[in-house]
Amino acid sequence: MNAKDTWINHIHQLQDKICATLESVDGAAKFIEDRWQREDGGGGKTRVISKGEVFEKGGVNTSVVFGQVTSSMRSQLKIEGAKWFAAGLSLVLHPWNPFVPTIHCNYRMFELYNQNDEVTDRWFGGGTDLTPYYLIEKDATHFHRVYKNVCDSFDASFYPEFKTGCDNYFVNSHRNNERRGIGGIFYDYKRPDEQKNLDFWLAFGMACGNAFDQSYIPIAEKRKRTSYSADQKHWQEIRRGRYVEFNLVHDRGTLFGLKTNGRIESILMSLPPTVRFEYNFQPQPGSEEDKLLQVCLTPRSWI
């Protein structure tokens, strides 16, 4: 298979694997699949789980889309060329329990072509980040160690670079640079070259995607039966509001989907089912809620 087919095959297999694992963790709900076609080229498979025992709402989506580079893409996304192709997997999970973190991951491949369908540019991007509502340091360390191990197996410089990239990307700059969560890894515009060729970046993206089970499932299994109060659920919904703010105000993926005539239900699948926007809500200083807020305001090392 060529690079495109190899990547497409991988994201579809990974989607199947992750969905089966999450259904096992939940124990009640099953994913519903919605296959869709994009009028301008390509399509995808949106899979949604909701109202289960563990997951209030979640989605594991794949898309393989292509088309002509439009004037709005050139002006707003800074994309040049005649035609484009993008394929990726995107995942978001919103559990019921405030002690089970929300998680997001996205791994993608992008190509640009000239009028003769020759590749003129190609890059890879992706990452996985964790959004807890209560800070459990052992869980944070476990999550980050999994991705550090993956990064280190390819290049020892990757984890510090991509952790910093994640801390600096998922930021609500309009809220005093408050981070969405405790980060993870994030990289973008990684182009193959002589040192790190096409096969390298394919393999790295695959390894990061395959690490999802190891990074998240042990945390979800350990915390899914933790008892919680109405006040703790209230705090979860306050923090979910920050998640919504980032996705709608700052996220490049949301903007890309909207500017390329993407499927709106799949683009907004990432939003949580219930949120709270309360005027100037502040946690009590020194509380467990405040402890989480402080690490969102000042990212720290977990390893």
Q: Which residues participate in catalysis according to the annotation? A: 104
Cα-based angle 170, 76, 184 (whole degrees, multiple of 5): 15
Structure tokens at 12: 């579809």
Rounded Cα distance between 285 and 157, Å, is 37
Laid out side by side, the sheet with 32-37 consists of: 32-37, 42-50, 55-68, 83-95, 102-113, 119-131, 183-190
Per the structure block, which two tokens stand in for 143? 């999550």
Is 104 in contact with 91 (CB distance < 8 Å)? Answer: yes
Of 69, 19, 24, which Cα lies nearest the Cα of 45?
19
User: 137: Cβ–Cβ under 8 A, 6 or more apart, which residues?
Assistant: 302
Cβ partners under 8 Å of residue 302, min gap 6: 137, 140, 141, 143, 144, 145, 182
CA–CA separation, 191 and 122 (whole Å): 6
Contact 254, 248 (CB under 8 A): yes
d(CA 182, CA 292) in angstroms, rounded, equals: 9
Secondary structure of residue 116 in the 3-state scheme: coil
